[in-house]
Amino acid sequence: MDVLERSMEILRAYPLCDSCLGRLFAQLGYALENAERGSAIKTLLHMKLVTEYRQGADVSGDLKSLARVHRPTRRFLASVGVAVEDSQCYICGGLTSSVERYAKDAVVQLSGVDFETFAVGTTLPREVLERESEVVKRFLISTGESIKHEINRRIGREILKLLPGKKVDKQRPNVLVRIDLVTGKVDVVRNPLLIEGVYLKLSRRVSQAKKFGDVKASLLEKLAHVRDLYGGVEHLIHVSGREDSDARMLGPGRPLVIEVKNPSRYRGLPGRYEDGDVIYIPRGFTVREEIRRLKDKAKTDIKLYRALVYSENPLTETDLAKLGELTGKTILQYTPRRIKRLSPRKRRTRMVYELAWRLVSPHVFELYIRCQGGLYVKEFIHGDGGRTTPSVAEILNTYLEVLELDVLSIE
């Protein structure tokens, strides 16, 4: 069945406006709006039916069906003494006739937001969607698009006219224009801004997110200027692993993503930040998937630590040589006593790949540990009362205390 025959069959059953008729054949043709496509179909049907009527064919029923939604056909029938009333579109009820007007309200809502990309989302009356589904299923339409898709596109195109230079991005827009076609309400959702980078922590009194004990500041606090730069109302940090507040993060730094919520600006990277406690180096904008990748990667990263360790018993180079036994070992750890309130029975296994050491004095030695991410390094050294095994303390058979701990690199 060709397009004209199928369209006539549909119009016999339902009065449809130009947009709703044309939308059923949206995949046919190129560079046509649905209303143009629907109008062209009706015009061709009008020409065909009027010609057949004048040749004596009994097409009055089809003419009346078309006349319900086509003014030239109503005029023709009126000229031969047949009156037909204009009918409301069965699917949209006239909803599609002026959706572009919402673009002006959206532009007002977007004033004051420095953005580059946007998307449009709409809420339609449920009965409109149900009626569209009814028509599509009844006539087995496989060439159409949804009314929501059409309306979103038309409003988006109008916004582009009013705000030249902006771009539509349906996957990761800076802002989402939401339009409720039930209530007529228009609002704008400012999506979070995600900035990837690395940080170094030079102080032993700075935590990642929360202040406690003798911690003087948090990395989260120190990066508040990034939130302010983009006019955000809140910011979060997503980090690939973590170090204790009294451990320094050195070397090339630890990857992180700063999330700025509800920003009013989406352009321009922050500059490098340094205050003696931390160094922050931004790399660029990123996407939500990068946060998940950071979290997953933290479990498999290879990390190099330096620890300065106190031993209750005096040690010699010969004693420290025993630590070679730990190279290539799998370490079993129960949740450390210092944090076991979170999950006291949880246990994990992590690999220790390499160890190196240097005796500083009979009671102090320096230890370098290359290991799998997620190893509780302090507990690996002092044993945590047997909750970590094997441990450095177990091998050396002495009480150990970690005096300093630094993260030197993350591979």
**pLDDT tens digit sequence for 285-336:** 999 999 999 988 888 899 999 999 999 999 999 999 999 999 999 999 998 9
Tokens 């700075």: give the residue: 206
Phi/psi of residue 92, nearest 5 degrees: -95, -15
Residue 25 confidence (pLDDT): 97
Phi/psi of residue 212, nearest 5 degrees: -160, 160
Tell me the pTM.
Answer: 0.85
pLDDT tens, position by position, 381-411: 999 999 999 999 999 999 999 999 999 999 8
Residue 341 confidence (pLDDT): 61
Residue 144's nearest CA partner among 15, 29, 5, 46 is: 29
Write down all domains in the chain, each with its CATH number in brackets: 3-79 (no CATH), 98-189 (3.30.2130.30), 193-297 (3.30.70.2510), 302-410 (3.30.70.3190)
Range 341-354 average pLDDT: 82
Range 19-48 average pLDDT: 96
Write out the binding residues for substrate. Answer: 305, 376
pLDDT band of residue 12 (cuts 50, 70, 90) is very high
345 has a pLDDT exceeding 90: no
Q: 135 vs 14, 24, 265, 406, CA distance in Å? A: 8, 9, 44, 67
Rounded CA-CA distance 311/324 in Å is 18
Query: Are the CB atoms for 296 and 263 separated by under 8 Å?
Result: no
Q: Provide the strand spans (E) within 286-396.
A: 302-311, 330-334, 347-361, 364-372, 388-389
pLDDT band of residue 76 (cuts 50, 70, 90) is very high
340 has a pLDDT exceeding 60: no
Contacts of 274 (CB under 8 A, 6+ apart): 280
Write out the binding residues. Answer: 305, 376
Query: Are the CB atoms for 407 and 305 separated by under 8 Å?
Result: yes
339 has a pLDDT exceeding 80: no
Contacts of 56 (CB under 8 A, 6+ apart): none
Range 246-267 average pLDDT: 96
Range 23-52 average pLDDT: 96
Determine which one of 169, 244, 246, 277 is catalytic: 244
Range 155-166 average pLDDT: 97
Mean per-residue pLDDT of the chain: 95
244 is catalytic: yes
Which amino acid is present at 95? L
Q: Which two tokens stand for residue 53?
A: 């009527």
343 has a pLDDT exceeding 70: no
